[in-house]
Structure 1
Amino acid sequence: MTDQAPPIQAMESLMKKQGAERIIFKLLSNNDNSKQQIYLGTDFNVLRLLQHGDLIAGENSGSKKGVMYKASLNFHWISFNGESEQAKGAQLILYPKYPEVRMSGFTRGCSIAPSHLLQPPTKEQRDERINTLRCFMLGLCPDGRILAYIDHWTGSISKEAQRLISTNDASPVGTVFHERVRPEHDNRSALLAKLREIHQMGFVRSCRLNGAGNRIEYSAKNGAGYTLESLFNITPNGHAGPDYLGWELKSHSSGPVTLMTPEPDTGLYTQSLEAFLESYGRCGEIRRDFTGKHETNKRNKKTLLTLDMEGYDSDKQEIIDTSGGLIMRDDAGNIAAGWSFDKLLTHWSRKHAHTAYVPYTHEDRDIRYYAFGPEVHLCEGADLKRFLNALNNSTIYYDPGINMKLSKGKWTPKKRNQFRISWRNIDRIYDRTIKENLGLDRNR
């Protein structure tokens, strides 16, 4: 016996020294190789787990897998002797029809890539290795780098990883991956404990954190989210990641929930906001507005525009033409604004995997005060088919708040392309929704 750390922990330590905040691993089957690609699951979780570039439509090959989307990865192989090199061809491939996600190009152009461990097996090798698996480790860095290491079929890391899974000492993550620690349960408990503490505070004076992290008064009427974030010591717009221990926090009252605010990437809107508002908005001498709830396949009576999911088969609930998207046209067929499938899928793939919806009430005193709870909704997962179907049937609808104001001879724009959902429908877009009552004493 020695005091040396187990091999899997040694590699974790090496990855952390190189910047990884989280280390996950997967046991590779025979079919996980450079020819057949590495299988990463049948849902969207892995797209949220691994930072990636924009999803870009590939050519329609007419294969059984249907259309595909690709996204680049900042992928680096590392070794125990300190070597590190980027595999610049590494990418994710999404097949929306299933959906299914795979990784390819992970050895191309990389001199230290363990290509000998990722070759397609012969028939004899396939039979020999049927119950012998390689451990594929990934270190996830905040700057988007992905550090990778793969162990031999009979290596100590591969054996240790199999033991951890078989003894339930590793927790599942992203469908096909595991991690040695168990952050999800502990983080959920920690989140609920903090929310319970905030609920017990009662009404809290409206506030936010400034750039220096100091709590300051916030007098505007939209202070619920800022106040909740300040109680978690979160600076507004401080980072793009989850707010607290892997969870995104969303405060809400009784109204609809804003899910995302992506800018259009096609149509007159992208060419000239002024022309867009003059053509489809309400225009006065000093203000121009474009507002109103827009649902798919329904002509909006005020803007006279119709949204449609072009290139989407509603019966099969799948994309059949990657050149399409959510398109808003006028009666003459001109595109006023639109969101390509590339844009929609990229935006949704980067939404956080765990979201806590925290209801609030308010009281207007000398300033607004907020109380949070008692019931919260913890929502996890949001697969591709559910998202696209929700857009197509208007469970998720477009509700813009766009304007231009004339001040001192200059038009100033304000863009707010909101996609919203009624609160009663929130559980229709998530895989799992758990309701928790913060008023219950869990210690009894």
Structure 2
Amino acid sequence: TLKELSAKGYVQTMRPGDTGIGFTLESLLNITENNSGEPDFIYNGVPFELKSHRSGASSNITLITKTPYWDPMPQWDMITKYGYPDKKGRQALKVTMKVDEFNSQGLGLKLSDNRLDIVHRSDGVTAYFLIDEVREKVRTKLYENLLLVFADTKRDGEVEFFHFNRATLLRKLSANKFKRLLNDGLMVFEFRMHIRSPDEGKGDHSVRDHGPGFRLSQRHISKLYEYEEEFFP
């Protein structure tokens, strides 16, 4: 159980890198790594997804990747019109966007009842999402109920160690709170794309898209849910 695991104190990561914390937690709890969309475990008859978090970490994580509807402006046109030369000399558009704010490229987000528009300061709407589709993808990625486990961390040279010492149950993923996080600027959307150079693989000046993503600070994940309660200690 989590309480027994916590009593062990610091345990060595079973996988290097950012994903080590989740893999180590699931391995020690004998939970099979699961990317199928099915819940990780059942608690009191309720299905839960398991997520882990380094205590004190504030970096943004990608909740989901999702491509907008390129209407009225095609993707290639957006990069050529609003992009910039990256370090490799390629025309790129790698920017962060917030609701009701414009970034240095003049791009931002506009939220309505059923749409999230990508807008340019001068040109207006360039592409859009349907809110219900975005929310549904978040739901399938995070699941309706979440057990969020926190760990203190330390390092011995290059090796990371975790002390899993706190857990919070989050229930009922909320559509209204999802939109509120967008409105408050806590959830952002990022483009990560460029036009291929002639010497880059295909050499056909096609778009290389690393996956546009909705991102949120790890410490704000609980704000997506209606109910929060301490699981332990």
- Shorter-chain TM-score bucket reads 0.7 to 0.9
Aligned CA distance change for structure 1 residues 278 and 205 (closer, same or farther; 3 Å): farther
| Structure 2: distance between partners of 1:263 and 1:361 | 32
Higher relative contact order (CA 8 A, sep 6+): 2
- In the alignment, is the contact (CA less than 8 A) between 1:403 and 1:413 conserved in 2? yes
Please tell me whether residue 201 in structure 1 is matched to residue 8 in structure 2.
yes
- In the alignment, is the contact (CA less than 8 A) between 1:362 and 1:368 conserved in 2? no
- In the alignment, is the contact (CA less than 8 A) between 1:280 and 1:290 conserved in 2? no
Aligned CA distance change for structure 1 residues 284 and 259 (closer, same or farther; 3 Å): closer
Please tell me whether residue 417 in structure 1 is matched to residue 213 in structure 2.
yes
- In the alignment, is the contact (CA less than 8 A) between 2:51 and 2:147 conserved in 1? yes
> Per-residue deviation at 1:381?
0.9
Residue 260 of structure 1: aligned partner: 63
Please tell me whether residue 382 in structure 1 is matched to residue 173 in structure 2.
yes
> Per-residue deviation at 1:271?
4.2
User: Unaligned 5+ residue runs, structure 2?
Assistant: 203-207
Aligned CA distance change for structure 1 residues 403 and 380 (closer, same or farther; 3 Å): same
Residue 40 of structure 2: aligned partner: 243
Cα displacement string for residues 389-408 of structure 1 (whole angstroms, at most 9, x for unaligned residues): 3323334x114372458796
Aligned CA distance change for structure 1 residues 284 and 278 (closer, same or farther; 3 Å): farther
Residue 233 of structure 1: aligned partner: 30
Please tell me whether residue 297 in structure 1 is matched to residue 100 in structure 2.
yes
Aligned CA distance change for structure 1 residues 418 and 227 (closer, same or farther; 3 Å): farther
Aligned CA distance change for structure 1 residues 422 and 366 (closer, same or farther; 3 Å): closer
Residue 347 of structure 1: aligned partner: 137
1:30-429 to structure 2, matched below 5 A, reads 194-207=1-14, 218-245=15-42, 246-253=47-54, 254-256=57-59, 258=61, 260-267=63-70, 271-272=74-75, 275-282=77-84, 283-285=86-88, 288=92, 290-292=94-96, 294-301=97-104, 303-309=105-111, 312=112, 319=113, 322=114, 325-350=115-140, 351-365=142-156, 367-395=158-186, 397-400=187-190, 402-403=192-193, 409-410=200-201, 413-421=209-217, 423=219, 425-429=220-224
- In the alignment, is the contact (CA less than 8 A) between 2:31 and 2:40 conserved in 1? yes
**How many aligned residue pairs are there?**
218
Aligned CA distance change for structure 1 residues 224 and 381 (closer, same or farther; 3 Å): same
What is the CA RMSD across the aligned residues, in angstroms?
Answer: 3.3
- In the alignment, is the contact (CA less than 8 A) between 1:265 and 1:338 conserved in 2? yes
- Match of 1:394, SS state, is coil
| Structure 2: distance between partners of 1:422 and 1:200 | 25
| Structure 2: distance between partners of 1:265 and 1:289 | 15
| Structure 1: distance between partners of 2:163 and 2:129 | 35
Rg (Cα) greater in structure: 1
Select the structure that is richer in strand.
Answer: 2
What amino acid is aligned across from residue 255 of structure 1 in structure 2? S
| Structure 2: distance between partners of 1:291 and 1:255 | 19
User: Unaligned 5+ residue runs, structure 1?
Assistant: 1-193, 208-217, 313-318, 439-444
| Structure 2: distance between partners of 1:221 and 1:419 | 16
- In the alignment, is the contact (CA less than 8 A) between 2:48 and 2:145 conserved in 1? yes
- Match of 1:359, SS state, is strand
Cα displacement string for residues 210-247 of structure 1 (whole angstroms, at most 9, x for unaligned residues): xxxxxxxx333442222222223344454211222222
| Structure 1: distance between partners of 2:232 and 2:102 | 41
Give the TM-score normalised by structure 1.
Answer: 0.42
